[in-house]
Each structure stands twice: as structure tokens, then as C-alpha cells.
Amino acid sequence: MIANTVLVLAGPFSSRLDAQQVSAAISRGMSAEGHLECDVCPLDYDLGAGAPERSKLLDEHDFDLRMRAARAVVLACAQLDDRTLANSVVFEAATRARQAGVPAYALTGRDALDPFEARIVDLQVILEASTPRALSAAARKLAMLV
């Protein structure tokens, strides 16, 4: 039996769009068709920024257990760029998902990864969206792919 849950790991997109709002917009979009439920995990800082305790942070939120119970992981951060590849929660979460065989997707305000960098992060799809409405619409598209 395939899980009907998607784990959403979200950070703030701006000072006006915090992690809770990002998570809520994605959850609305993912569940719009009624097929997927979201296990939301909003974090109050930029997921693409370096986080010295990124592994500990994911462990504190039971990321591995929640990820393995999910059909997929959606990583939502303000920007994906080369700093996302080193020292970030996004990279750590994507690596854990890949190692566990759970597909990972990304929603971002700005995708600045080149194709090689995107391949290293091993995200199935990267969609850009920067407002609650656009995040919900992008999440609806992802729901069709998951």
C-alpha cells in the first residue's frame, strides 16, 4: 500500500511570507483534489542557508520517520542556489530522501541551480512560486506528479 501523505518541509520565503504560511499554501494545493494529505513541518529560517545543526534539526522533527511514512517529500525554500548544495537543510533532507528511496520535489521562490547542481540535489521536479496563490497552484501541479 502506498502512503497518501506528503511530507512538506518549509522555510520562510520573505518577511511577509513565513514558514507557516508557506506550509499552509502548499497543503491547500496538494490536498485540493482530495487525494493527498500533508504532514507539514514549517521551520522558522531559510532552509537554503547554512545550518550547523541541520542534521540535529531534522532529527528533532523526526524527519526520517515522517519521511519514510510519506509518499514523497516537498522541500520549500525561498531560493535554490549553489549554497543550497553545501551546509543546508534542503541538501540534507534531499540526501536522506534519496538514500531512503523517497522522491523529493522542490517549490522555491527562485531556482538558481544549473542542471548539474539540480542533479546533485536529486530533486524530481523544481517549481518556482513566490506568493501563497502561486505556491498553491504549484502544489496542485506537484500533486498530479506525486
What would the DSSP string read from start to end of the chain? ----EEEEEE--SBTTB-HHHHHHHHHHHHTTTSS-EEEEEE-SS-TTSB-TTHHHHHHHTTHHHHHHTSSEEEEEEEEESGGGGSSBHHHHHHHHHHHHT--EEEEEEEE---HHHHHHHT-S-EEE--SHHHHHHHHHHHHHH-
Print the domain residue range for 97.
Answer: 5-145
Number of domains observed in the structure of the chain:
1
Whether the predicted pLDDT of 97 surpasses 70: yes
Lowest mean pLDDT among 48-52, 101-105, 117-121, 142-146: 48-52
- Whose CA is closest to 105, among 10, 16, 15? 10
Confidence of residue 118 (pLDDT cuts 50, 70, 90): confident
pTM of the model: 0.91
Per-residue pLDDT at 140 exceeds 90: yes
Instruction: Compute and round to an integer the Cα radius of gyration of the chain.
Output: 13
pLDDT for 46 equals: 66
Mean model confidence pLDDT for the chain: 88
Looking at residues 81-109, what average pLDDT do you find?
A: 88
Say how far apart CA 103 and CA 146 lie, in whole Å: 8
Q: In the prediction, which pLDDT does 1 show?
A: 44
pLDDT number for residue 126: 95
User: Which CATH number do you get for residue 100?
Assistant: 3.40.50.10350
14-73 confidence digits (pLDDT tens): 889 999 999 999 999 998 877 789 999 988 776 665 555 777 888 889 999 999 999 999
Are 117 and 50 a contacting pair, CB within 8 Å? no
pLDDT of residue 48: 64
How far is it, in rounded angstroms, from Cα 118 to Cα 82?
Answer: 9
